[in-house]
Amino acid sequence: MPLTPKQKQTLKAQAHALHPIVLIGNNGFTDNVKKEIETGLEAHELIKIRMQQTDRESRKETFKMICDTVHAEAIQLVGKVGILYRESARKNKVKK
């Protein structure tokens, strides 16, 4: 179920204090990066990732591919930092 703009705004505010837990280097979106993102989303629901790519369009494409692959909601992409949200199969940790 897609998030409403109000829910995204709340999640952006909550993510403000977070530090990126996954760094995507020059190798791009690899299987190991996918596993780390999956683990982070399952544990925290709301995570930040940082990408080292210099081209804006390639960052957007990578961010969209990550969201589609891990079935996460794209909250925001600013510069090299992206915010992802996926409700955990366990108990809700983040208030929407």
Work out how many domains the chain is built from and give that number: 1
Which pair of tokens denotes residue 23? 């760094």
Give residue 89's pLDDT band: very low, low, confident or very high (50, 70, 90): confident
Q: How many alpha carbons lie under 13 Å from residue 39 in its C-beta half-sphere?
A: 8
Does residue 94 lie within any of the structural domains?
Answer: no
CATH, residue 46: 3.30.110.60
3-state secondary structure of 2: coil
Does residue 91 lie within any of the structural domains?
Answer: no
Domain containing 72 equals 5-85
Q: What share of the chain is helix, strand, coil (3-state, %, to 5)?
A: 40, 20, 40
Could you tell me the end-to-end alpha-carbon distance of the chain, in angstroms, rounded to an integer? 13
In the chain, % of residues over pLDDT 70? 93
pLDDT one-digit tens code per residue, 16-57? 999 999 999 988 899 999 999 999 999 999 999 999 988 999
Handedness of CA 67, 9, 49, 95 (dihedral sign): negative
Does residue 16 lie within any of the structural domains?
Answer: yes
Give residue 96's pLDDT band: very low, low, confident or very high (50, 70, 90): low
